Every structure is written in structure tokens, then in C-alpha cells.
Amino acid sequence: MPLLSPRQKNNLNIATEALLANKYRSMLTALGIIFGVAAVIAMLAIGNGARQEILEQIRLVGVNNIVVKSVFEQKDSPADDKVQTSRFSRGLHLSDAEAIARHLPSVVAVSPEIVYETEIIREGAKRSSRVVGVTPAYFRISNLPLAEGQAFTQVQLDKGEAVCIIGSTIARRFFNTEPALGGYLKAGNQWLKVVGVLQETAVSEKAIENLGIRDYNADVYVPIKTALARYVNRASVYAGKDENATFFGDGVVFSDGEEEGSKKKKKNYHQLDRLVVQVAESEQVSSTSEVLLRMLSRRHNEVVDFEVSIPEQLLKQQQRTKDIFNLVLGAIAGISLLVGGIGIMNIMLASVLERTREIGTRRALGATRDDIIWQFMFEAVLISLGGGLLGVVLGISMAYAIEWFTDIRTILSPFSMVLSFGVSAAVGLIFGITPARRAAAANPIESLRYE
């Protein structure tokens, strides 16, 4: 059965001819639909891009993770600065990680990290990089699979052997003509044997800035006891020093007032730079973080020299903020579609008045009221569909332009295109009913007399 009867096809042809006879007016009428559809597609593309970035960032920081970072002690002192209370804390320590794993049943993994800025040297090539002391849990929590080799063995961990796992950038830079596995490179003053190479992980600059993570591809990873034994164990270097002293250079100590003309700078006394604690269930993250905070406060003698954060919750809050923003933008785009529909109705009502004699002539020649209704309905729907198609093209172009010029990630969705195009068709149908009925209700004799 055909979709349109012969009479309806004839009405469609008449509607098409009427629109082509007034091309500019038809185009101006469709502008509201065009920009409304384009805005909907572009806004949903921005929202999809933001959501994808958040999901990728959550994958980078891991799921159900709590991050404990070492910071310099935050002190409160009286206004006159005469009386100061001082408490001892040895800073974030490997024993903290062991205590967390031992006493918190909701914790499934703890990953301590130590980061040293250094230089990597091999066969005359050199570049600045970082040596990161970790345990095997680090690679599981951070979702960093190995492309080659294997993770650190228990013997390598216990003995602090001079072995390493390197990122893909390091592998390309220093082992571009030969296999990296089994090779050696010099990190700082230590020669390390490569036992594994990580798969390349895409890390955007925005993620590095927002999450405080590193470029995993450009790091050299060693067992944490290797880092403590073969590099600087800050907890040992600065243990027993005057707590009011200020540190310069490589462990050189100057008491207050000794160094003239130099700005004093506190040395990092923390053994660890951060701890990543993974919790079994998402519902346990908040409660575990509270217990963790109290536990570390007691272990650090109430010294505030660490901070606890939950990256996933921060990212989800950021995603909620972006969703609200996108909802507002989508509502604005929807209003523009509504305005476009009202514009169609107004123009069609004006068109009915202008074409009163035409309507009377058609009725006199045998056209029924349904024929008149279908004619003006077809005109409204054709304007909406044409505007919808142009709006889809403009919306796709806008999405690409936004990503190109503003570096805001956009992801086009077929659903958004179908949705916006369907809404534009519905707008034409809904807002075309009133003008079509008014045209059909006109008295044929009075229409023929209309000047």
C-alpha cells in the first residue's frame, strides 16, 4: 500500500511548487529550525566528548581509589608568634602503607609511590625523566598492562634489585633499533636492567593537569625497595635533623639564620610521595577515606602533612557539573527549535491570508477541506524537514569547528542527529496544524471575492 494516495501526492506537488515560488521566504522561515537542530547536535557532541574524557580519566586514576599525598606540614601559630607547639612526624612512610593494608578490611590493594627526577642515559642519548619506585599493585590499580616482559618478582622486590619497567616513550627513545627486554640503561647513578615494557597509554595534557598524574609512557619504574636502597631514602637522610632547620641542595643543612641572602626552602622529608588505596566497593570509598584520615592523623601525631582525596568522586562531580551545563545549553537549543516552530506557524498564517483567492479557486475546482489541510501541512513539514537537514549539516560542521578551534573534544552521536531531525519534523507537523485548519475553514465563495 503506498504511503500517499494520488490526491495527497497532488497536494504535495502543489505545496512544493508554492515553496519553490517563494524560496527566500521559505529559507528565512526555516532558519529557526536550522539553528535549533544545529545547536542540539553541537551541544550533545560537546556533552558526549566531556563524558568520554571523564570516563578516560577515571580509567587512568583507577576505580574506587583513594589518594594520599605528602605535603609540607600545615602549622597554626598564635598571632604574636611567640609560642609555637611542635610535634614530630616522620612523614608519609612505607609503614603507613603496610598498616593500611593490614588494618582496613575494605582495602584490596595499596600502592606506595616514590618519584625521583633524574636523567636517563644510554649509548650517548640522554633525556630528563622520572624514576618511580612502586610495587606490582601500582600497575593493577593504574590499569597499566605490560606489552613485553613481566612484572617485578618477589625476589626482585625483597632484595631491591637493579631492575626496571619502562614506558613506551622511553623504549622508543633508547631502544629503537633493538629489543628493550634484557637491555640496560642508566637512571641517575644506577644502571638498571629492563625486565618489562608498558603498553602505550594515551594521557591528555588536560588529564595530566586536572588529575595531577604523570605521563606514564615517559617514566622508569623500579621496585620500591630498589628506590629506597639505591636512590635517596628521604626518611633516613633527614631523620634526626633539627626540625627547625631549613634544607638546601642535596641534604646540606643550614640552621635558621645561617644562610644570608638565600631564600630558605624546606626539604621534602617524606619517604613516600603518595599512596593509592583501592577499596573493594564503591559504597565503601567515603567511609574508608574517613577511617583512613583518622588513622593517618594518629600515626603522624596529629601533624597535617598529608592530604586525602578521592579522584573518582571529584571526577563524577565534575561530570555532574558538565551535565547540568549541557542540559542548560540543550534547553536553550530546544527553545530555539520552539521559536522556529512558532516562526513557521506565523509565516504559514500570513501565507493563508495572502493566498485566500488561491484557496477559493482550488475549492471551486473541486478540492476538499482535507486537500487544503494536506497542502498547508505539507508546506510546513517540508520547511521543517529542509531546515532539519540543513541543521544536521551545520551541526556536524559546528562540532568539528569547535574541536578544531577551541580544543574542546566533541563526539558526534547518530542518536543526536536522528533525535534533532525527528524533533524538527514534529515541530513542522505540530505548528502547521493551525494554519492548515484555518485555510480549510475558509468559505470558498468569500475567498473568491477576497482582494
Q: What's the chain's length in residues?
A: 451
- Enter the C-alpha cell of residue 319: 561530570
Query: What residues of the chain score a pLDDT lower than 50?
Result: 1, 79, 81-84, 240-264
| 355 & 292 share domain | no
Q: Is residue 247, in this structure, part of any structural domain at all?
A: no
* 153 and 197 assigned to the same domain: yes
Tell me, what amino acid is at 368? Answer: T
At a CB cut-off of 8 Å and minimum separation 6, what does 202 contact? Answer: 56
Cα–Cα nearest to 341, from 27, 32, 35: 32
In a domain, 261, yes or no: no
Report the amino acid identity of residue 41: I
What gap in Å lies between CA 164 and CA 233, rounded to an integer?
Answer: 18
Nearest to 71 by CA among 207, 254, 275, 247: 275
Tell me whether residue 244 is in a domain. Answer: no
* Domain shared by 97 and 185, yes or no: yes
> Which distant-in-sequence residues (6+ apart) come within 8 Å of 86 by Cβ?
243, 244
* 241 in a structural domain: no
Is residue 168 one of the residues assigned to a domain?
A: yes
Q: Which of 280, 304, 328 is the C-terminal boundary of a domain?
A: 304
Tell me the longest C-alpha to C-alpha distance in the chain: 109
Q: Is the same domain home to 199 and 129?
A: yes
Q: Is 240 a domain residue?
A: no
Q: Are 360 and 445 in contact (CB under 8 A)?
A: yes
Cell of 313: 568522586
> Which one, of 421, 386, 359, 374, lies nearest residue 13 by Cα?
374
Question: Number of structural domains, the chain?
Answer: 2
Domain-located, residue 150:
yes
282 and 149, same domain (yes or no):
yes
- The CA-based angle 45-214-89, given to 5 degrees, is 130
Asked if 115 and 206 sit in the same domain, the reply is yes
Helix residue ranges, H only, 104-150: 137-141
The per-residue pLDDT for 133 is 93
**Inter-residue contact 273 to 92 (CB < 8 Å):** yes
The full DSSP string for 315-365 is HHHHHHHHHHHHHHHHHHHHHHHHHHHHHHHHHHHHHHHHTHHHHHHHHHT
Cell of 239: 631523620
Please say whether the beta carbons of 52 and 409 come within 8 A. yes
Are 367 and 418 in a shared domain?
A: yes
Residues 326 and 213 in one domain: no
| Domain residue limits at 297 | 72-233+271-304
185 and 125 housed in the same domain: yes
Sequence-ordered list of residues with C-beta below 8 angstroms from that of 418, at least 6 positions apart, any chain? none
> Any idea which residue has 475549492 for its cell?
363
Cβ pair 187, 220 in contact under 8 A = yes
> Do the domain assignments include residue 243?
no
- Looking at residue 312, its pLDDT comes to 62
Same domain, 297 and 327: no
SS3 call for 293 = helix
Confidence at residue 258, expressed as pLDDT on a 0 to 100 scale: 39
| 298, burial (CB in 10 Å: exposed 0-12, middle 13-18, buried 19+) | exposed
346 plus 279 within the same structural domain: no
Quote the pLDDT of residue 184.
Answer: 93
- For residue 310, CA distances in Å to 185, 204, 212, 321 come to 36, 20, 13, 17
**Same-domain status, 155 and 22:** no
Measure the CA–CA gap between 261 and 216, rounded to whole angstroms.
39
Can you name the residues that pair with 252 across neighbouring β-strands? 248
